[in-house]
Homo-oligomer: A and B are copies of this chain.
Amino acid sequence: MIMEPRRIEEACVKCKDRCCSRCFDDGEESIFNCLTTEELELLVKEKRHVHFNAGETILKQNTSASHVVCIKRGLAKIIAEGEGDKKLILRLVATHSILTGGGIFIEEIRHFTVQAVTEVECCFIDSEKIYELVSKNSQFAFELLKLNNKQNIQMLNNLVGITQKYMPGRVADLLLYLKNEIFLCNPFDTRLSRQELADMTGMTMESFIRILKELKTSGIISVDGSQIHILDEDALSLISRKG
C-alpha cells in the first residue's frame, strides 16, 4: 500500500521534550503551543516516525484519512490528481508543516496526493488524536480553524490567479510564492523539474519554459538548472499584478 509508511521506526520518545510543538506549524507560530504537556504526550504516544526518499508518495488521494502527517524535515508537493494523468500541484509544504489531507473532518477521504520532493522525515499521527484534542482544548480547535482558513484563502487566491491571469502573471506569482513563502531566500533551488513547476501554474511545460525564457531575456530573473534568481522583484510583482 502506497499510503502505508515504508519504514516504520519506533515512536520518537524524545518527543516529550515538545519537539512536536514545532511539527504542526504552518507559519510562524506553532499550532501546538497551546497544548498542555499531557495533551502533547497523548498526541505523541503512538505516533510513527517515517522516512521517505525523494519521489516517494507520502499520502495518496482517495485513500482514507486515518492519519495526519507532520513534516519534520524536507520538502513535499501537494498534488490534485484529475482525470487522465492531468495533475495540478496545489502548493509545496516544507519543514514544520502539518498535513490534514484535505478531508479529515468530513468524508474522511484524502482529496489530494502528497509526494516527497527531497528526502522527507515526518510523523504519522492518528486522526482520532486530533479529534480528541479538538474536544479537549478549544484553543487548539481555534488554531485548527485558523489553519484551515488560511489554506482556504490561499486556494482562493490561487483560483483567482489561475482563472484571471495570463501565463506571465501566473509564472510571476509562482516565482514570488517560491521565494517568499517556501524557500525564503533569493537565489533559491527549487529541486523541481520544469514539468512540476508548470503543474503549479496549470500550464504545459513548453509554455512555462517559454515564459521563463522571456523573463530571463528581459533580465528579470536568471536561471541555472533548477536554481532561480529573482533579479528585479518589482518588475516581477508588476507582471503578477497586471495579469
Contacts and interface: CB of A to CB of B under 8 A. Distances in A.
Interface in A84-121: 84, 86, 88, 90, 102-107, 111-112
A217 interface: no
A243 B151 CA distance: 26
Nearest to A243: B83
7 contacts: A80-B156, A86-B164, A134-B142, A138-B138, A148-B152, A159-B162, A163-B202
Interface residues of A, number: 44
A169 to B, nearest CB: 9
A213 interface: no
A12 interface: no
Nearest to A131: B142
B104 A149 contact: yes
A242 B102 CA distance: 24
A184 interface: no
A80 B152 CA distance: 13
Given A80-B160, A102-B156, A105-B149, 12 more contacts: A83-B243, A88-B159, A102-B152, A106-B146, A106-B153, A111-B156, A134-B141, A135-B139, A135-B142, A141-B142, A144-B145, A145-B148
Interface of A: 80, 82-84, 86, 88, 90, 102-107, 111-112, 131, 134-136, 138-139, 141-142, 144-146, 148-153, 155-156, 158-160, 162-164, 202, 241-243
A40 B202 CA distance: 45
A211 to B, nearest CB: 16
A83 B146 contact: no
B106 A159 contact: no
A104 B145 CA distance: 9
B142 A106 contact: no
Given A138-B136, A141-B142, A159 B80 contact: yes
Contacts of A243: 83-84
B155 A152 contact: yes
Given A152-B152, A153-B111, A163-B202, A105 B145 contact: yes
